[in-house]
Amino acid sequence: MLAAGIVVAGVMIAIGLQASVAAFVASGEMAVAYLMMHAPRGFWPIKNMGELAVAYCFFFLFVAAYGSGRFSVDGMLGKKS
Q: Is residue 31 part of a domain?
A: yes
Calculate the CA 76 to chain-centre distance. 22
pLDDT at 1: 59
Provide mean pLDDT across the span 38-48. 92
Cα of 54 vs its chain's centroid, Å: 10
Residue 68 lies in a domain: yes
Q: What's the pTM value of the predicted model, to 2 decimals?
A: 0.82
Rounded to an integer, the average pLDDT of 7-12 is 86
Contact 23, 60 (CB under 8 A): yes
Angstrom distance (rounded) from CA 51 to CA 24: 19
Asked if 28 contacts 41 with a C-beta cutoff of 8 angstroms, the reply is no
**pLDDT at residue 34, rounded to an integer:** 93
Neighbouring CB atoms inside 10 A of 63's CB total 20
Assess if residue 47 is contained within a domain.
Answer: yes
pLDDT band at 43 (very low <50, low <70, confident <90, very high): confident
Residue 81 belongs to some domain of the structure: no
Domains of the chain: total:
1
Domain extent for 30:
2-76
Average pLDDT, the chain: 87
Residue 59 lies in a domain: yes
